[in-house]
């Protein structure tokens, strides 16, 4: 995953997130280069989501976050929210698990897609609106012009997640972070959204940090895998290698559980 001759996009070193009763994320380190497809997998409470939120400065205010998060060599920890907000959405974007909580329920989705284009790229209202309709088309929303005029509650769960992807990718970020982006979707829609994510990040040559508890999902979209348990990385390596021959008992347990579920569903 790491090649010394390539520029380092993101370097996380000894990241610790603590709420006062012990570290919830404990000395997590990883490096991403442009174009990397990295997965973080682990059960609920393993610290994977907090790791991602800390990278973009969205950890809860009650958390103490220490260590180092460097973006193109520049330290992000300790920067103000105003400074980080310029980075979020333009250089680093995030797709959340539940679009109903991440989308503004009283704002039309086209305006929400257009907002980062106006904020970061300075597009006029009409130009950003036209770009939003095109993004609705690009993420596969039926009747894009109508979808852009809709409110989030008027769309299905899968359609809302497509809106979230459109917002995240509007400014062509160098890094896309997805946090359980298909958990609330049925299996067919999951596959469609994953295929869409794959195509769009390839098209934009973006790096991907994909957070999930689902081995099958991470196997289909990532090249490198970090396995987290109780706040620490217990194993990492090429995704295909880890899935085929896990070395840590916890990784083996996750993969065995995924295979058992797949057999039950077959």
pLDDT at 125 over 70: yes
146: enclosing H helix or E strand: helix 144-149
Longest Cα–Cα distance of the chain, Å, equals 55
On whether residue 245 sits in a domain, the answer given is yes
Q: Half-sphere exposure (CA, 13 Å, Cβ side) for 206?
A: 28
On whether residue 210 sits in a domain, the answer given is yes
On whether residue 215 sits in a domain, the answer given is yes
Q: What is the mean pLDDT of residues 188-201?
A: 82
Q: What is the pLDDT of residues 20-76, one digit of tens each?
A: 988 999 999 999 999 999 999 999 899 999 999 999 999 999 999 999 999 999 999
Contact 17, 25 (CB under 8 A): yes
The per-residue pLDDT for 226 is 97
Q: What is the pLDDT of residues 136-180, one digit of tens each?
A: 998 888 899 999 999 999 999 889 988 998 998 888 889 999 998
Q: Where in the chain does DSSP place strands (E)?
A: 10-18, 23-32, 37-41, 64-71, 74-75, 92-95, 175-179, 207-212, 224-229, 232-238
**Residue 109: strand, helix, or coil:** helix
CA-to-CA distance for 50 and 38, rounded, in angstroms? 16
On whether residue 196 sits in a domain, the answer given is yes
On whether residue 188 sits in a domain, the answer given is yes
Q: What is the pLDDT of residues 110-120, one digit of tens each?
A: 999 999 899 88
Q: Which domain holds residue 60?
A: 10-96+175-265
pTM equals 0.88
**CATH code at 55?**
3.40.50.300
On whether residue 123 sits in a domain, the answer given is no
Number of domains in the chain: 1
């Amino acid at each position: 995953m790491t090649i010394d001759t390539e520029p380092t996009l993101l370097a996380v070193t000894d990241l610790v997130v603590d709420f006062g009763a012990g570290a919830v994320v404990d000395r997590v380190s990883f490096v991403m280069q442009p174009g990397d497809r990295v997965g973080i997998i682990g059960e609920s409470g393993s610290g994977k989501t907090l790791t991602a939120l800390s990278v973009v400065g969205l950890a809860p205010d009650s958390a103490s976050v220490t260590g180092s998060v460097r973006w193109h060599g520049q330290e992000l920890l300790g920067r103000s929210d105003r400074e980080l907000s310029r980075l979020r959405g333009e250089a680093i974007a995030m797709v959340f698990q539940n679009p109903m909580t991440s989308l503004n329920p009283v704002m039309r989705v086209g305006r929400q897609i257009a907002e980062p284009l106006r904020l970061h790229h300075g597009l006029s209202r009409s130009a950003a609106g036209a770009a939003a309709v095109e993004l609705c088309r690009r993420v596969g929303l039926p009747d894009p012009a109508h979808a852009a005029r809709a409110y989030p509650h008027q769309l299905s769960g899968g359609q809302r997640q497509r809106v979230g992807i459109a917002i995240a990718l509007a400014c062509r970020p160098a890094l896309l972070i997805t946090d359980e982006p298909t958990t609330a979707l049925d299996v067919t829609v999951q596959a469609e959204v994953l295929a869409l994510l794959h195509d769009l990040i390839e098209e934009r040559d973006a790096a991907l940090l994909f957070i999930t508890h689902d081995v099958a999902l991470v196997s289909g979209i990532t090249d490198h895998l970090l396995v987290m348990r109780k706040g620490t990385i217990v194993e990492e390596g090429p995704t295909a290698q880890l899935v085929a021959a896990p070395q840590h008992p916890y990784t083996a347990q996750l993969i065995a559980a995924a295979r058992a579920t797949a057999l039950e569903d077959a």
